[in-house]
Amino acid sequence: MPSPLPPPVDLGDLLEPFARRGVDLGLERLAGALAEGGHPERRFAAAQVAGTNGKGSICTFLHAILRAAGVHAGTYRSPHLVSWCERIQVDDAWITPATLRDDLARWQPIGRRHRLTPFELITAAAFDHFARERVDLAVLEVGLGGRLDATTAHPRRPVIGFGAIGLDHREHLGDTLAAIAAEKAAVMGPGCRAFSAAQEPEARRVLEAEARQRGASLQWLEPLPAVADGGPHLGLAGELQRHNGAVAVAMARALTAPDGPLAGTPLDAAAIRAGLAAARWPGRLERHRWRGRELLIDGAHNPPAAATLRRELDRLDGGAQGGVEGIRPRRWLLGIQRHKEGAVMLEQLLRPGDRAAVVAVPEHASWTLEELAAACPGKADQLEPAGSLVAGLDSLLPGGPLPVVAGSLFLLGAVLPLFDAPEADEVPGSGQPGGVPGSPGP
């Protein structure tokens, strides 16, 4: 593998297909299952991260900071790119395929009795794994929403972080930013300390109102300073990561405060800087090579993430903000799931003159070229078909600015195993020579 990801593991005999069950939010089923399973979730404290975008990055920064401070930490993430094992990490190691299969097999009878969804079942297995590993703390990434997400079944979450909140999963969370923000804000509980970087005004108002109503404290954070201004080096690329990093740093400080669950853990500036630099998480503004051609991959799986990617590319192209003069056309490989706002994402991503090969996201209903062209006629002449992932990647080979693969995290999971192996002097997945040494984990 060209990136530090665990090997794929087939769980088809242990997990009901997501497509068959669909999204079925609620806490009652998992609460009953955890009670029958001996309440493993009560044997460790947790920090939870909610939001629309940036959750995985915040979790990754926080895990790396805690590890640099010597904390025996677990992290639970979703979704995965290549392997189910990416979802469960303890210290610097992924859960092994054999252990994950054993854990799921042990919980499967309980899961059947309580009609757990696949996400609830793997969440129960993760809680059990963290309990058996006796972690000091587990970092939990919300899967969908927050109020009824399986991770919220954990009873002791004194520190909460929020990534950027935007319009996504509207079919489950509501049609307005306020409704979506309310679902995510509901993870806060009495006495918890919550942290967020800048949010849209509507989302900010909801978070503040919910914090007051729920008896939680909410602190707004400025982004970490740039390296040029004395700020830390980050192991994840992009200006937005300075917002995510600020949330992780504040959470780490709250967790190790005298009244936090990790009280007594020494957390100094050196550990914070080391953790921020060591953080690795694939698929976020990450550089790879295809047949020797460097390219960029980024999930950009919803309109807010697409807008963020476009801003990063504009900065890469010399800081263009809305204007296109002097910017050379860029080639794209796009795969967008059918339930996403494909036309909006297309408008945000493509500049005039850009060319995008459209490919189906493997094993997922996807926007076709014809559907995107009809929904976004102003971009129709910039689209071309890609008969396969390999053909789509080959379409990125001609010269020009750094080409991009984007539109879905599931698309990235499909293309990652195809890329060239990294050069001997590269940090895996960075596309850059040398770099800051990281832990063996993500």
Other beta carbons within 10 angstroms of residue 365's beta carbon come to 11
* Average pLDDT taken over every residue of the chain: 90
What does the pLDDT read at residue 433? 32
> Of 57-71, 372-386, 412-426, which range is least confident?
412-426
Nearest-CA neighbor of 114 among 10, 172, 37, 191?
37
What are the backbone angles phi and psi of residue 312, rounded to the nearest 5°?
A: -65, -40
pLDDT, average across residues 380-402: 95
d(CA 7, CA 3): 11
pLDDT at 436 over 60: no
Q: Quote the pTM value.
A: 0.90
Owner of token pair 């809680």: 127
pLDDT, average across residues 98-116: 96
What does the pLDDT read at residue 399? 87
pLDDT, average across residues 344-360: 95
Q: How many residues does the chain have?
A: 442
The pLDDT-based confidence of 424 (bands split at 50, 70, 90) is low
Other beta carbons within 10 angstroms of residue 344's beta carbon come to 16
Q: With contact defined as beta carbons under 8 Å apart, do 287 and 430 qualify?
A: yes
**Token output for 407:** 């539109």
What does the pLDDT read at residue 53? 87
pLDDT at 48 over 80: yes
What does the pLDDT read at residue 172? 59
What does the pLDDT read at residue 181? 93
The pLDDT-based confidence of 301 (bands split at 50, 70, 90) is confident
**Token output for 116:** 């757990």
Alpha-helical regions (H) of 351-400: 369-375, 389-394
Query: Under the phi-then-psi rule, with left for phi > 0, alpha for psi from -120 to 50, and beta for the rest, what region is 22?
Result: left
The angle formed by the CA atoms of residues 208, 213 and 218, to the nearest 5 degrees, is 35
d(CA 307, CA 44): 38
What does the pLDDT read at residue 3? 45
Sign of the CA dihedral with 257 first, then 262, 263, and 264 last: negative
Owner of token pair 């009795």: 113
Cα dihedral value 324, 327, 329, 332, nearest 10: -90
What does the pLDDT read at residue 385? 95
DSSP state of 291: T
pLDDT at 42 over 80: yes
Q: Which residue has the higher pLDDT, 318 or 425?
A: 318
Q: With contact defined as beta carbons under 8 Å apart, do 14 and 108 qualify?
A: yes
pLDDT digits (tens, 9 = 90+) for 142-156: 998 889 999 999 999
pLDDT digits (tens, 9 = 90+) for 169-215: 555 566 798 999 999 999 999 999 999 999 999 999 999 999 999 99
The pLDDT-based confidence of 439 (bands split at 50, 70, 90) is very low
The pLDDT-based confidence of 277 (bands split at 50, 70, 90) is very high
- Residue 73's DSSP bridge partners are 137
Nearest-CA neighbor of 48 among 218, 162, 197?
162
CB within 8 A of 190, min separation 6: which ones?
A: 214, 215, 216
What does the pLDDT read at residue 166? 83
Other beta carbons within 10 angstroms of residue 416's beta carbon come to 21
Q: First-to-last CA distance in the chain?
A: 13
Q: With contact defined as beta carbons under 8 Å apart, do 149 and 143 qualify?
A: yes
State which amino acid sits at residue 50.
Answer: A
d(CA 132, CA 130): 6
For residue 164, the SS3 value is strand
pLDDT at 319 over 60: no
pLDDT digits (tens, 9 = 90+) for 203-248: 999 999 999 999 999 999 999 999 999 999 999 999 899 999 999 9
pLDDT at 161 over 50: yes
